[in-house]
A and B are shown apart, each in its own frame.
Chain A
């Protein structure tokens, strides 16, 4: 299913949502226990609990979603109790992602904006209706104020009215607040998870503690996907504090009193592996060679305009370029982990999950229990970036709980995490364009070749050679060029690849935005003016680009050999432009400043929009300069933060984030900061007197 289809079908679902919500609200009722619905519980003693329906991995979905409910429920947000939602896709499914209960693709706010506010408003309307009936006044005379239901001198807590509210029915959809009455939306509000995250009490996956729970580690084939032929625990089992050594699929699991012992014991196990055929992953260059060769074949057209068969036409100035992106690791600071226990016919699974529905399905499959007997408990994620969508660690944890009969907390070592990642795929982009003699852009063609990230996740989602997560940045290219053909081509590299923050935007926008700059230079035109001239069909993109140029004093010449480079795109329905200020030190670029202008529609939490863009720019910039995953006979060479550095204090350039005022529907933010840093830097390097770099990383 194409991403656009996801979006189209979700609109339908939203319009019928509130009815479904009312039905589920009124189904659960008991005057003694208050009001219970999947999203909100109001106990008779006035404890108001809200369920956070999305993973919290730093992107602030936790506070934002709770805020949307608090806004329409008209209840003081600091008095709410917040819990992570259980696995219940019928209620919490992501309507922008096929209804799966899944956090990704910068959809949390877009998906929540209408439906979650309706949940809050509906609950409030039920409370008001109950109060009107009880006080024998018209509904129009009942309101809420500061956590109470009020009418004249009458006053009630939400809890006092909850039981009666649960028996009410609404005849029409309640109105949502007028934006002028917003108490939280768009206003300063500290993240609700900040206190727990700075006093050590926030529970991340690795922090799960249950009575009798033991630590666990796994020994995995050095080559991901390899088979365990045989193993001999040797003296590992005899270590004091080690409870058992078990085969779990193609890995060996060790259960011990603590993680140190589990790691120590796993190293003592003698394993015989069948690494399979690794000839296609001898080293990175061999993989890239095959990718380059593959990229010569035609791909699937994802964007076409004018004479798409021959967008370059005949007798014009022709520009061609080829761009290369390497594999990259997620390297979240919290390594992959999962806790599990199987007891009394139930399977309990705790951990940092972006896809709790998938966790439940995996738990059922591995434990052999019916899905209804599988309970998933989501924790805070110590970084996700797409990695924690995957269930590899969940499968191991449940298998180990089953094999050992214990409650276990499986944590991957940093080395496990880095060497068994689902890497951002490498990509080759072949771009070509034609210019008139007066420097007008006449046509563009481009082909991005990379390994499908979606296929392993949902094979049915990749049809006719089209992976909906390989075409971002191309499919929604904002430029209006007379003739255009952009293609996507899939090539299996044999490497385990997956979703890496901003996914294919990273590859497609590095190529596209570098190439647009190359065309501008070939046309002897200013890169900003060149872009503005082909953005007429996207006024928001145009405004963001113009604002970025203005705020960075684009036309002012820099001293000290510094140059500015720019890039812009639509990313998860937001519009963003990034300007990099760079100088060269020998052959290495020094990034002095990154400026981003974003139009993300109405900014629900302005400070956190900035925080996300700041973090995204840092991830994008640093990865583009330093990071590459290497291979040796199928094994990953990098294994920790010394060989695969992530940014540190000394690396951080000055960063400025500017939010373009916008009243449009809120759009994606969590990933939008990432993909444009690389092309902006590449473009700035040229203007700082350096070479055109078409192959990442820069150093």
Chain B
């Protein structure tokens, strides 16, 4: 059996009901997705499956076998760089435990909605929890990344 994470194929021969989170963390030693609640309530384990935001604690290996799984290490360069740059400039993290999940949720949002409104950010990010209370900074960083990304996508002015 095979699992495809960040475009790399990995073998996994454990219990097919194992949640994706524990395949990543305990079998592949990829620890960026975090365990917070085990029930899809906190978003610390957020990954993308075929580009769609997914709580990796709440989908089994069986459900994601053969599908494209992306963790924060495998975000598309342009989007990932823009988000990380914005996160750094705003200096978002405190303890930082939720932040990979936050960035994965933000990436999923910007992929389908390049210029989200405040309300759309709240709706898209509302299931990702941060105990330190970095929410205002996350919002600011998403807006910053969005504005940079959309500026980059503008057609070049003709000389």
Q: How far is the CA of A196 from the CA of B31 in the complex (A)?
A: 12
Q: Report B89-116 CB contacts with A as 1/0, cut-off 8 Å.
A: 1011111111110010000000000000
Q: How far is the CA of A355 from the CA of B42 in the complex (A)?
A: 27
Q: How far is the CA of A110 from the CA of B36 in the complex (A)?
A: 32
Q: How far is the CA of A641 from the CA of B15 in the complex (A)?
A: 27
* Interface residue from A197, A607, A641 paired with B96 (Cβ < 8 Å): A197
Q: Report B119-143 CB contacts with A as 1/0, cut-off 8 Å.
A: 0011001111111111111010000
A residues within 8 A CB of B41? Answer: 640-642
Q: How far is the CA of A209 from the CA of B29 in the complex (A)?
A: 7
Q: How far is the CA of A161 from the CA of B97 in the complex (A)?
A: 40
* Interface residue from B84, B95, B126 paired with A333 (Cβ < 8 Å): B95
* A57 contacts partner chain B, Cβ-Cβ < 8 Å: yes
A residues within 8 A CB of B27? Answer: 257-258
Q: Report A126-155 CB contacts with B as 1/0, cut-off 8 Å.
A: 000000000000000000000000000000
**A481 vs chain B, min Cβ distance (A):** 34
Q: Report B27-41 CB contacts with A as 1/0, cut-off 8 Å.
A: 101011111111101
Name which residue of chain A comes closest to B97, CB basis: A382
Contact B91 A607, beta carbon cutoff 8 Å: yes
**B119 vs chain A, min Cβ distance (A):** 10
**A603 vs chain B, min Cβ distance (A):** 15
Q: How far is the CA of A206 from the CA of B71 in the complex (A)?
A: 17
Contact A200 B95, beta carbon cutoff 8 Å: no
A residues within 8 A CB of B157? Answer: none
Count chain B CB atoms within 10 A of each CB in A257, A380, A619 and give the residue with the most. Answer: A257
A residues within 8 A CB of B36? Answer: 333-335, 414, 641
* Interface residue from B14, B39, B97 paired with A334 (Cβ < 8 Å): B97
Q: Report B71-92 CB contacts with A as 1/0, cut-off 8 Å.
A: 1110000000001100111011
Segment 564-589 of A: residues with Cβ below 8 Å from B: none
Contact A646 B88, beta carbon cutoff 8 Å: no
* A198 contacts partner chain B, Cβ-Cβ < 8 Å: yes
Name which residue of chain A comes closest to B118, CB basis: A649
Interface size class of B (residues with CB under 8 A): 35 or more
A residues within 8 A CB of B136? Answer: 614, 652, 655
Contact B96 A380, beta carbon cutoff 8 Å: yes
A residues within 8 A CB of B23? Answer: 258
Contact B31 A259, beta carbon cutoff 8 Å: no
Name which residue of chain A comes closest to B57, CB basis: A260
Contact B91 A191, beta carbon cutoff 8 Å: yes
* Interface residue from A60, A200, A611 paired with B73 (Cβ < 8 Å): A200
**A516 vs chain B, min Cβ distance (A):** 27
**B60 vs chain A, min Cβ distance (A):** 9
* B18 contacts partner chain A, Cβ-Cβ < 8 Å: yes
B residues within 8 A CB of A608? Answer: 91
Q: How far is the CA of A619 from the CA of B131 in the complex (A)?
A: 8
A206-B34, A334-B34, A611-B91 given; A618·B97 CB < 8 A: no
* A679 contacts partner chain B, Cβ-Cβ < 8 Å: no
A residues within 8 A CB of B93? Answer: 58, 191, 193-194, 197-198
* A190 contacts partner chain B, Cβ-Cβ < 8 Å: yes
A60-B94, A642-B39, A642-B41 given; A650·B126 CB < 8 A: yes
A259-B25, A382-B96, A649-B122 given; A333·B44 CB < 8 A: yes
Q: Report A188-208 CB contacts with B as 1/0, cut-off 8 Å.
A: 001101111111111110110
Q: How far is the CA of A629 from the CA of B127 in the complex (A)?
A: 22
A206-B34, A650-B126 given; A617·B133 CB < 8 A: yes
Q: Report A378-403 CB contacts with B as 1/0, cut-off 8 Å.
A: 00111111000000000000000000
Q: How far is the CA of A86 from the CA of B95 in the complex (A)?
A: 20
* A411 contacts partner chain B, Cβ-Cβ < 8 Å: yes
A residues within 8 A CB of B137? Answer: 611, 614
A residues within 8 A CB of B34? Answer: 204, 206, 333-334, 382
Name which residue of chain A comes closest to B127, CB basis: A648
Q: How far is the CA of A589 from the CA of B146 in the complex (A)?
A: 34
A residues within 8 A CB of B72? Answer: 198-200
Count chain A CB atoms within 10 A of each CB in B29, B88, B132, B133 and give the residue with the most. Answer: B133
Segment 602-624 of A: residues with Cβ below 8 Å from B: 607-608, 611-612, 614-619
Name which residue of chain B comes closest to A652, CB basis: B135
**B51 vs chain A, min Cβ distance (A):** 18
Count chain B CB atoms within 10 A of each CB in A59, A191, A198, A206 and give the residue with the most. Answer: A198
Q: Report B1-33 CB contacts with A as 1/0, cut-off 8 Å.
A: 000000000000011001100110111010111
B residues within 8 A CB of A209? Answer: 29, 31
Contact B35 A411, beta carbon cutoff 8 Å: yes
**B54 vs chain A, min Cβ distance (A):** 16
A259-B35, A380-B96 given; A641·B71 CB < 8 A: no
Contact A59 B94, beta carbon cutoff 8 Å: yes
**A83 vs chain B, min Cβ distance (A):** 17
A197-B93, A204-B34 given; A646·B131 CB < 8 A: yes
* A465 contacts partner chain B, Cβ-Cβ < 8 Å: no
A215-B26, A411-B35, A641-B41 given; A615·B134 CB < 8 A: yes
A260-B22, A615-B133, A646-B129 given; A333·B91 CB < 8 A: no
* A413 contacts partner chain B, Cβ-Cβ < 8 Å: yes
* Interface residue from B18, B37, B95 paired with A380 (Cβ < 8 Å): B95
Contact B88 A200, beta carbon cutoff 8 Å: no
B residues within 8 A CB of A90? Answer: none
Contact B15 A57, beta carbon cutoff 8 Å: no
* Interface residue from B32, B96, B121 paired with A58 (Cβ < 8 Å): B96
Q: How far is the CA of A333 from the CA of B95 in the complex (A)?
A: 9
Contact B91 A194, beta carbon cutoff 8 Å: yes
A residues within 8 A CB of B92? Answer: 194, 198
Contact B100 A649, beta carbon cutoff 8 Å: no
Contact B35 A206, beta carbon cutoff 8 Å: yes
Q: Report A206-221 CB contacts with B as 1/0, cut-off 8 Å.
A: 1101000001000000
Name which residue of chain B comes closest to A332, CB basis: B131
B residues within 8 A CB of A196? Answer: 96
**B138 vs chain A, min Cβ distance (A):** 8
Q: How far is the CA of A334 from the CA of B130 in the complex (A)?
A: 11
Q: How far is the CA of A614 from the CA of B103 in the complex (A)?
A: 20
Instruction: Please give the residue numbers on chain B whose beta carbons come within 8 Å of chain A beta carbons, in ascending order.
Output: 14-15, 18-19, 22-23, 25-27, 29, 31-39, 41-42, 44, 71-73, 83-84, 87-89, 91-100, 103, 121-122, 125-137, 139
The 10 listed contacts between A and B (C-beta, < 8 Å) are A197-B99, A198-B83, A198-B92, A198-B96, A332-B97, A333-B44, A333-B129, A641-B37, A641-B41, A647-B129
The 9 closest A-B pairs by CB, nearest first: A200-B32, A382-B97, A197-B96, A58-B94, A618-B133, A58-B95, A258-B26, A615-B133, A207-B31
Q: A58-B96, A193-B93 are in contact. List 17 more A-B contacts (CB 8 A).
A: A58-B95, A58-B132, A59-B94, A190-B91, A194-B93, A198-B88, A206-B31, A241-B14, A259-B22, A332-B131, A335-B36, A380-B95, A383-B97, A383-B131, A641-B129, A647-B133, A647-B135
